[in-house]
Amino acid sequence: MIKEKEYNKDIVIDLDGSQGNAFYLIGFVHKAIKDELIRDHVIKQMKSGDYINLLKTFDKYLGHVVTLETNQENLLKELA
């Protein structure tokens, strides 16, 4: 039997703490994505807008393995 690979989402980033800053998230992408072309593309997209854009881009490419958490209502509303 062959089945689709399941990703374990044990990695949680607290956006309300020090891990929630843009530099940390960009650094995380730099370490997590090994393919240089893809990594550079993702980082370029993350830097192309505001913080909400950065989070949406991060979630688009790494949301299958990383959970972003926050108690900030404005972020929850923007990212819903």
Residue 7's pLDDT band, with cuts at 50, 70 and 90, is: low
> Would the pLDDT of 23 be above 70?
yes
Instruction: Report pLDDT for 1.
Output: 74
Residue 13: beta bridge partners? Answer: 68
Tell me how far apart the alpha carbons of residues 61 and 55 are, in angstroms, rounded to a whole number: 10
Share of the chain above pLDDT 90, in %: 84
Rounded to whole angstroms, the maximal C-alpha distance in the chain is 45
Tell me which of 38 and 2 has the higher pLDDT: 38
Instruction: Report pLDDT for 62.
Output: 96
pTM of the model: 0.87
